[in-house]
Amino acid sequence: MLQPTAESQIASWLARFAVALDARDIGGLFHEDCHWRDLLCFTWSVVTMSGEEEIAAMLADRGAAAASAGFEVEPGSGVEKDGTVEAWFRVETPALRGRGHLRLIDGRCRTLFTSATAIRGHEEQIGARRERGVEHGAQRGRRTWPERRAAREAALGTTEQPYCLVIGGSQGGMSLAARLNRLGVPTLVIDSLARPGDAWRRRYRSLHLHDAIWACHLPYMPFPDHWPVFIPKDRMGDWLDAYAEMMEISFWGSTTARQAQYDAATATWTVEVERDGKPVTLRPKQLVLATGMSGAPAIPRFPGAETFRGEQCHSSAFDSGAPYAGRRAVVIGSNNSAHDICADLWEHGAQVTMVQRSSTLVARADTLFRFITGKLFSEEAVAAGITTEQADFMAASRPYAMVAELHRALYRDIRVHDAEFYARLEKVGFMLDFGEDDTGLSMKYLRRASGYYIDVGASELVASGEVALRSGVQVARLRPEGVELSDGSVLDADLVVYATGYDPMESWIAQLISPEVAARVGHVWGLGSGTRRDPGPWVGELRNMWKPTRQDGLWLQGGNLQQVRFYSRILALQIQARMLGLATPVYDPKGLGA
């Protein structure tokens, strides 16, 4: 007797699931340790339900809407390995089209993933749905495409208000605006810098992306295939400028948002901005903060700082080590920026000391690529038929609770693979950690935890002593001649760089809108893991990111390039739905929970 194929097993389960949705009885379909991650399809939010009880509660809340869903397995996607059967499928609800993924163990669901890709009848204006550009035939008074675009640009923000205002013009704002444009949502992006790429240009001269190029493409426009694996920051800045032009994004540079206030009666924001030194009032319906997941630079206030005779700056203001050849520099911190800046100073001939105040997770870029990112984002993955979009869906299909399990095992292998490297760092006193629960870099990043470095060379300088290290100490005060540490020693310095990170995004919300709104929105980022900088309870998704917040009309967009590329679609669909006046009943008891 022939054994059922992986696809037939998935199709059979989905058919039973559709019946169960109609009957509102899912008993026996799910594994005792199961997770359903839903991006809009059933919840109009970004939600993970863990366990049959949470899944049943969501379906009870959705009622008939959940019962109307249809499923179809994607041909050729079925896989059976080590007792797990999995496949991709298409899903349709009354309002949305999407994709999904299902993993079965012993015929029961271990993980279910559903993600919206379009609102039915209002799909992206791309491919066969693209604009014609011109209607052929002679017409008096015809306006050319540049003239039509110029008229739109002149009207937006003056005689016509944008439906959506995006504050932040780097990769987060550009990705979202490109998506919204393709969905027909009038959108304006503003930034205090003159050009979209200036946020990258202003960083220290040696900065390159630490993630490989295959993970960093922007929506609709992949990087050229001759570009380097690790993109220089100025090249990235050039690309963002070009991207804004090619994606026809309405962008106001040199424009600073001063204050924003929401009128619940009219469901409209009033946003006071200063454009080229002149006040302008904007009145969008939706406001997106796309300034990254952080707020202002976090600059410690050490006693005696005003007496220091040298120069002081935050890492965000550091440009180049060239002026400090032959001089003494102290870098306070041990994160990515701290290591990069130490390397830049050393390359220019400075005498550099890193002050490591707490343990740091270090992972070599090549090792991460080999063990983790390269499996989805690499030349080999592309050759195997894994497109950028498919890689994004594959990464999103695994709920964060299982990511922790997976990465704990991966980092055990990484520590063995790079044991000699780690031993050399520890020998000079570098304090290593691998996350509070040994789950590694990705989970530490997701939990807002500071203190990690993707090694692209600076660790060798530390291990060899070329960059001096003082670890396990705190800064007691600054003296005129340098930095006094908690053990009483003094580091003579001509330059002190504070690689001390940034305030959380909550501080930016409080500054722009109000402390009351910031308090109502609550923590931004983090999974609720109960670790030091990620207070519980567990919510299973990144707090307040790419989904409704407790402030109507306020959305947050941030993360690395891979995240803003994938989740910009999820956020854009929610904004489009509201512009269309569709019903968007949000189910998110952990994220929006009382």
For 319-342, write each residue's pLDDT tens digit.
999 999 999 999 999 999 999 999
Tell me what the mean pLDDT of segment 398-412 comes to: 92
Decide: 330 and 413 in contact? Cβ < 8 Å: no
Assess if residue 136 is contained within a domain.
no
> Among residues 248, 271, 246, which one has the least CA distance to residue 260?
271
pLDDT for the residue numbered 503? 87
Quickly state the pLDDT bin for 581 (edges 50, 70, 90): very high
Cross-strand pairs, 416? none
pLDDT for the residue numbered 293? 64
Quickly state the pLDDT bin for 184 (edges 50, 70, 90): very high
pLDDT for the residue numbered 445? 85
d(CA 583, CA 62) in angstroms, rounded, equals 12
Assess if residue 594 is contained within a domain.
no
Assess if residue 374 is contained within a domain.
no
Tell me what the mean pLDDT of segment 572-589 comes to: 97
If one counts the domains in the chain, the total is 3
H or E segment and range at residue 59: helix 52-62
Question: What's this model's pTM, rounded to 2 decimal places?
Answer: 0.95
Tell me what the mean pLDDT of segment 112-141 comes to: 90
Q: How many CB atoms lie within 10 A of CB 536?
A: 11
Tell me what the mean pLDDT of segment 7-21 comes to: 95
Beta strand 268-275 with 278-282 is antiparallel
Q: Compare 156 and 186 and report the one with higher pLDDT.
A: 186
pLDDT for the residue numbered 9? 96
pLDDT of 541 strictly over 60: yes
Asked if 325 and 411 sit in the same domain, the reply is: yes
Tell me what the mean pLDDT of segment 120-137 comes to: 88
Asked if 343 and 438 sit in the same domain, the reply is: yes
Asked if 402 and 334 sit in the same domain, the reply is: yes
d(CA 347, CA 432) in angstroms, rounded, equals 25
Assess if residue 512 is contained within a domain.
yes
Decide: 181 and 579 in contact? Cβ < 8 Å: no
How many residues comprise the chain? Answer: 594
Given 502, 521, 541, which residue is the final one in a domain?
502
pLDDT of 357 strictly over 80: yes
Lowest mean pLDDT among 2-6, 13-17, 400-404: 2-6
Residue 297 preceded by cis peptide, ω within 30: no
pLDDT of 360 strictly over 70: yes
pLDDT of 594 strictly over 80: no
**Which stretches within 167-280 are classed as H helix?**
171-182, 198-201, 233-246
Decide: 566 and 538 in contact? Cβ < 8 Å: no
Asked if 35 and 66 sit in the same domain, the reply is: yes
For residue 131, CA distances in Å to 120, 140, 355 come to: 19, 21, 57
Residue 462 in tokens:
């530390």
Model pLDDT for residues 153-172, shown as the tens digit of each residue = 888 888 999 999 999 999 99
Cross-strand pairs, 35? 50, 111
Tell me what the mean pLDDT of segment 510-537 comes to: 92
Given 474, 502, 530, which residue is the final one in a domain?
502
Beta strand 30-39 with 108-119 is parallel
Lowest mean pLDDT among 22-26, 257-261, 446-450, 483-487: 446-450
Asked if 348 and 478 sit in the same domain, the reply is: yes
The CATH number covering residue 51 comes to 3.10.450.50
pLDDT of 135 strictly over 70: yes
Asked if 192 and 308 sit in the same domain, the reply is: no
Given 119, 142, 163, which residue is the final one in a domain?
119
pLDDT for the residue numbered 294? 65
The residues, ordered by sequence, that sit 6+ positions from 139 with a Cβ below 8 Å of its Cβ are: none
pLDDT for the residue numbered 134? 80
Cα-Cα-Cα-Cα torsion 47, 39, 447, 450, nearest 10 degrees, comes to -160
Asked if 313 and 349 sit in the same domain, the reply is: yes
pLDDT of 295 strictly over 80: no
Cross-strand pairs, 469? 354
Cross-strand pairs, 341? none
pLDDT of 506 strictly over 60: yes
Half-sphere exposure of 530 (CA within 13 A, CB side): 3
d(CA 131, CA 134) in angstroms, rounded, equals 8
pLDDT for the residue numbered 1? 40
pLDDT for the residue numbered 542? 95
pLDDT of 370 strictly over 80: yes
Assess if residue 246 is contained within a domain.
yes
Assess if residue 443 is contained within a domain.
yes
Assess if residue 385 is contained within a domain.
no
pLDDT of 55 strictly over 50: yes
Asked if 308 and 421 sit in the same domain, the reply is: yes
Model pLDDT for residues 434-443, shown as the tens digit of each residue = 988 888 888 8
Decide: 382 and 498 in contact? Cβ < 8 Å: no
pLDDT for the residue numbered 242? 98
Asked if 435 and 564 sit in the same domain, the reply is: no
Lowest mean pLDDT among 81-90, 137-146, 563-572: 137-146
For residue 85, the enclosing domain spans 6-119
Half-sphere exposure of 217 (CA within 13 A, CB side): 16
For residue 252, CA distances in Å to 352, 417, 591 come to: 40, 48, 33
Tell me what the mean pLDDT of segment 507-518 comes to: 96
Q: Compare 529 and 554 and report the one with higher pLDDT.
A: 554
Averaged pLDDT of the chain: 94
Asked if 426 and 544 sit in the same domain, the reply is: no
Tell me what the mean pLDDT of segment 564-574 comes to: 98
Assess if residue 555 is contained within a domain.
yes
Asked if 306 and 277 sit in the same domain, the reply is: no
pLDDT for the residue numbered 447? 82
168-183 burial, b at 16+ Cβ within 10 Å, e below that, comes to: bbbbbbbbbbbbbbbb
The CATH number covering residue 521 comes to 3.50.50.60
Tell me what the mean pLDDT of segment 341-355 comes to: 97
Asked if 178 and 306 sit in the same domain, the reply is: no
pLDDT of 592 strictly over 80: no
Q: Compare 224 and 297 and report the one with higher pLDDT.
A: 224
